[in-house]
Structures are given as structure tokens and as C-alpha cells.
A and B are shown apart, each in its own frame.
Chain A
Amino acid sequence: MTIPALRFAGVGKSYGATKILDDLNLEIAEGEFFVLLGPSGCGKTTVLRMTAGLQPVDRGEIYLRDNPLSGVPPERRNIAMVFQDYALYPHMTVYHNMAFGLRRHGHGRAEADARIRKTAALLGIQPLLERQPHQLSGGQQQRVALGRAIVRDPALYLMDEPLSNLDAQVRAGVRTEIKELQRRLGVTTLYVTHDQIEALTLADRMAVLNEGRIQQVGPPLDVYRAPANEFVASFLATPKLNLFDGTIERVDGAVLVRTAIGTFTPPNPPSALGGRTAVRVGLRPEEIKVSFALREGEPSLAIRLLEPLGSQVLVIAERDGADVTISVPADAVPEKPERLGVVPAGCVVHLFDRDDGVAVAHFRSA
């Protein structure tokens, strides 16, 4: 069995009586791009800082290539971190920002110089080497911060929401770059973000963290398709997950899930459903099928608001006081629509336990 690059074994952290992290167990493989996704305050930055050695671990142990990290100061961990606000040395040129860590790690002047030139070429920042950080744009600073991490060729990269201070346009560009770089360099990366798009696009595998506990671990599409619970489903839905109370009816061996917006039918009765008669039903805006051409007497929803996003339109509709947000291709929306009907066939439906929110079944409705 191969040794994981990074392993968290029962790691916990508390501030006074407040538990920040509770029994974190996680293994990250060598060369893997692992994303820790969660809302602010979920403990994800604490995980990074503990891995870096900037915060002590209260319980459990973190292993870097099977070496326990507790007691090893940050300066001897061979870990590089990219900070949210870049944290470049403001009084040093880009060149010296990159040279600082190399020199501290005992590389000679000539070797440091060669490495800096190579990394600068890789990132396209050669023209910036003699500049000071305050003379750089946000995107350039971010690239230098990446360069400072890459140039050291560490055992592990830690990235703390490195894109959150960038403009939307620059962000998408740098995101692609980070992914390509990581592929090329093959260095294990632990990346923390609250942005689900970043998690889905960047990760080889991801973990969703909430209130100091891991909710789900897996490849991004698996997590997206089969969220383990209501929280994960909500967190991975833009702009929000539509949640309804549902009742289960069993007719001739088939199962019907009745909700305020329609009745959904799983192709095969889900075994995990057991004898439940009530569930929570979650539908993502992009996974609901609708029709604007209504037949007489068919149940329908009143459209309250349209939010055009370009290729898609977010339709906010309601029925019996229940709000539904649906993402519809822009060209499918007629002029000034007033009502729409949910077409159950083809809708992707997630069923959760009514009490603990744990996922019971995911299916495309027949």
C-alpha cells in the first residue's frame, strides 16, 4: 500500500469550549489536488494552518509522508503556502520574494537564481522580477505568490482561498493556470475554498466541511451527483437548493414522491427508502425540467421574477407559498411568461431523511 502524502488522524482543535474541528480523518494521495470546501467558519483554514504548523493541533496527529508533524516548527516542514492576501514581502522585489525561502533552505546563490529564472519563465513573470509587490496588479501578485511556493519545490502546497481577492475575470484565468501548473508539477496540493465552482473545477477529490466535521469525501462529480446529506446538496447548488417536504406513496410496487410542485417517480424503488412515508425532497435549480406551454387544468406555478444570467435565466416561481428557483436556458423562456409547469420526467431528485438530513436516494424521475 502506498503511503499517503498527507494524513489527518483524529485531528481536533478547540478554542476554549468551542470545538473548531472534531475528529478529522483524511488521507490525501501523493500528487493529488485535494480541495477542502466549506462555508466560512467551518474550520477549513484551521486545517491549513495546523498543517503548516502555524497553529498547534489539540488532538490527533497530522502525518506528512508518514512523518508526524507535531513538534516540527513551520520553518522545518517543507511545506509552502499561498495566502488569501498573497502575503508577499512588501519591501522586497519579486526576485527576492522568491529567493528568500530558497536561501533560508540552504540553496546557494547560483542555484537559487537558476530556480527563480525557471519558475518565473513557467509563470510568465520574468518582466516583473525587479518590481516591488505594490507595483503589481492583484493577478500578478497572485502569480508571484504561486511562484514563491513553486520555486521551493516543497513536499506539499497549501492554498488558502488564493483566488478570493481577484476580479471574476482574472479569477477564472488564474484558476485554470493553477490547475495546469499542479498537473505539470505533480505536487500534492491541499486547497481551501468556500467557492463550489473552484472545488468542482480544481479538485481530483474534495471534502465538504461543516462545523468542524467532514460531511463527504470523494471526486467532485460524485459529490455533486450524490450529495451525502442536505447540507452538501445545499452547498453545491447555485444559487440555492429547492427543498420541499415530500410524502411517499406506494402504488402497485411503484413509489411516488409527492411534493408541492409535483410528483416524482424513481425508476426503481430505492432500497434505502425503507418504510418511510415522509422525506425531504431536494431539487437543484438546473435539475428541474419545466414547460411554459401549459395544458388546461394542469398544476402550475406563478412566476414571480426572472433573473437573466445570459445563457440561462433564473426563474423564481411559487406555489402555495413555496418558492422555487429554476434555471432555464434563455432561449426556452417565452416573452413575459406568467406561469410555468414542472415536468417531473427528467428532473433529478434527491431524497433526504426528514430528521437527520442524511441522503436516502438520488434519482432521475421517470
Chain B
Amino acid sequence: MMPPRVMAAARPYLYLAPTLAVLAAFTYFPIARLAEMSLRAPGVGTSLGPWIGLSAYAKLFANPLFWRVLGQTILFVFASVPIAMALALGLALLLDQPLRGLGFFRVLYYTPVVTPTVAVAALALWMFNANGGIVDYFLRSLGIAPVPWLVESTWALPTLILIAVWKNVGYYMIIYLAGLQSLPRAVLDAARLDGARPIVRFFAITLPLLRPTTFFIAVVALIGSFQVFDFVNLMTQGGPSNATNVLVYFAYQNGFEYLQLGMAAAISLIMFALVLTILGLVAGALNR
């Protein structure tokens, strides 16, 4: 029988143990294993070969494609996240009005979020089709020349960004809307009586008060965008000529197409470190 004091000290850890066990088995152990994989040569099947140090990283850093993919990933994240968040906030502000029929619009904007990615991708492929897609049809009716959306390198990544924004904006909007509706009304009223016009109220009061909401959305959006894979895999397979290749898809290619598990592991770890750093910076900036 343990002395009571030891029991009391051990009790919290006992309660934490099941969660920790699950996390260890399915998260921490795989990360450690990933690190190990990145430092060893590929073996036969799932076994690992001899230790080769950092040579996988060296090879990766020497590969211009890696840098290009990294750049494209960062571009994808830092274009799609701010655009989607700004749009979501704008829509939330519009929908945070005491008007009739708003429920309908809330549902409308949220629909893409609950639509399966495969369906969204299929729909987007059809809409952005270079041969008679509906988007080009509308552009042509406005007198704008058709755009080679997913066919040409310069347009492919922006098109993916557009689709990702469309898919995610409803989710961020709902969270912003909840944030807006929980703002203390009296504080905004006080700002009005203090002489603040709407634009001043937004920047001086609403936006700062929404900071916890913004922080939450930023974290969710950044993690989600760094991990973008489904749209790339379903719509472009990284093409044309790697123009839409991003880190997760690149890791997937290396691991499962070229069977370079060490390389895939190294890419994954680099991304992990990158996401962690960026989240740290965002937390520092927003979560004071």
C-alpha cells in the first residue's frame, strides 16, 4: 500500500494516463519513428536500412523542386488563409444584422463546408474546365477572354487557392459570427456615443475584441492549409509541371510513388517544424 502523500501526488498522472497512452501510441511514437526514418536508409518492405545521418535532408535541400514546393506551399497558405479569413469576417459582419432571411444566407455560405471535398473538387473541375467550363462562359459573356484555369502553370495555384477559399470561408464565417454575437453590445454602443463612426468602431473596438476568435480561426486555418492534399490530389496531382505541388503532396509522392520513405519522412518533419514555428509567431502576435 502506497503512503497517502504519494497516492495524492500520483493521482493526477493516473487520470492523465489513458489520454497520454493514446497520444503516445498514435502521435508521439509516429513522430519519433518519422524522425528515425528520416535518418536511415530505406530497407526492404517496412524495415529500415542502416543509419545515414542527415543525408536525406542534404539531398532534399539540394533539390530545387523541394524549394519550389516549399515556396508554393507557403504561397498557398499565406494567400488562402488571409483571404478566406477576411472574406469570412466580411460575410459575418453582413450576416450579423437583424434582418429577415438571414438564416437562409447562413446556411448558403456554410454549405460548401459540409459538402465532401471530392464533390467540391469534381464540381470545381467542371466549373473551371478550360473547354466550356461555366466560369469561362460567364467571363466570355462579360467580354473577358477565357482563362486557362488549371491548365497553365501561372493560373493553376491561384485557382486552387480560390477553390480552397470557397470551401473554407463558410466555416470561418460561422465562427466569426459566433464571435460577433458574443461581443458586449453595450461596449459598441458606448463607442457610438463616444463619437466613433462605423469604420472606427470596427477597427478600434470590434476587431480587437474579436482577437480570441481570430486567433482560433488562424490556428485552425493555418494547420488545415499547410496540410492541403485532397484538392491537389483530386484536381491536379501537383501539376501542371509541379505548379500546384505542395509539401504534403510532395511527401506523398516521395513516399508512395518513388518509395523514398526517408525523404518523405524528412519533408514531413520539416513541415512539422515550419507549422510549429508559424503557429508560435501567430500566437505571439495575436494571443497577448
Binding site for B on A (CB under 8 A): 52-54, 73-77, 79-81, 83-85, 87-91, 100-101, 104-105, 148, 152
Residues of chain A within 8 A (CB-CB) of B196 are: 75, 100, 104
Contact B192 A100 (CB under 8 A): no
In angstroms, Cα B283 to Cα A234, docked, is: 57
Given contacts A90-B209, A91-B208, contact A105 B195 (CB under 8 A): yes
- Chain B nearest Cβ from A161, distance in angstroms: 12
Residues of chain B within 8 A (CB-CB) of A76 are: 195
> Chain A: which residue is nearest B208 at the CB level?
A91
Contact B205 A89 (CB under 8 A): yes
Contact A80 B193 (CB under 8 A): yes
Q: Which residues 155-184 of B have a CB within 8 angstroms of A?
A: 184
Residues of chain B within 8 A (CB-CB) of A91 are: 208-209, 211
Binding site for A on B (CB under 8 A): 184, 186-187, 189-197, 200, 204-205, 208-209, 211
Contact A100 B186 (CB under 8 A): no
Supply 19 A–B pairs (Cβ within 8 Å), ascending by A.
A53-B192, A53-B193, A74-B189, A74-B193, A75-B192, A75-B193, A75-B195, A75-B196, A75-B197, A76-B195, A81-B193, A85-B184, A89-B187, A90-B184, A100-B196, A100-B204, A105-B195, A148-B190, A152-B194
In angstroms, Cα B194 to Cα A80, docked, is: 7
In angstroms, Cα B193 to Cα A54, docked, is: 9
- Seed contacts A75-B196, A89-B191, A101-B193; 10 additional CB < 8 Å A-B pairs: A52-B189, A52-B193, A53-B193, A54-B193, A83-B186, A87-B184, A87-B186, A87-B189, A100-B196, A105-B195
- Chain B nearest Cβ from A256, distance in angstroms: 55
- Chain B nearest Cβ from A142, distance in angstroms: 14
Residues of chain B within 8 A (CB-CB) of A84 are: 186
Which among B189, B194, B209 is the interface contact of A100 at CB below 8 angstroms?
Answer: B194
Number of A-B contacts (CB under 8 A): 63
Contact B193 A90 (CB under 8 A): no
In angstroms, Cα B186 to Cα A349, docked, is: 44
Residues of chain A within 8 A (CB-CB) of B187 are: 87-90
Residues of chain B within 8 A (CB-CB) of A85 are: 184, 186
Residues of chain A within 8 A (CB-CB) of B195 are: 75-76, 101, 104-105
Contact B184 A54 (CB under 8 A): no
Contact A89 B190 (CB under 8 A): yes
- Closest 10 pairs (CB-CB, A-B): A101-B194, A104-B195, A87-B186, A87-B190, A74-B192, A91-B208, A75-B195, A83-B186, A87-B187, A105-B195
Contact A104 B200 (CB under 8 A): yes
> Chain A: which residue is nearest B189 at the CB level?
A54
Contact A83 B208 (CB under 8 A): no
- Chain A nearest Cβ from B206, distance in angstroms: 11
In angstroms, Cα B191 to Cα A97, docked, is: 10
- Chain A nearest Cβ from B232, distance in angstroms: 40
In angstroms, Cα B211 to Cα A54, docked, is: 25
In angstroms, Cα B84 to Cα A296, docked, is: 89
Which among A53, A77, A83 is the interface contact of B190 at CB below 8 angstroms?
Answer: A83
Residues of chain B within 8 A (CB-CB) of A53 are: 192-193
Given contacts A85-B186, A89-B205, contact A79 B191 (CB under 8 A): no
Contact A100 B193 (CB under 8 A): no
> Chain B: which residue is nearest A105 at the CB level?
B195
Residues of chain A within 8 A (CB-CB) of B208 are: 91
> Chain B: which residue is nearest A73 at the CB level?
B192
Residues of chain B within 8 A (CB-CB) of A81 are: 189-190, 193
- Chain A nearest Cβ from B82, distance in angstroms: 22
- Chain B nearest Cβ from A157, distance in angstroms: 11
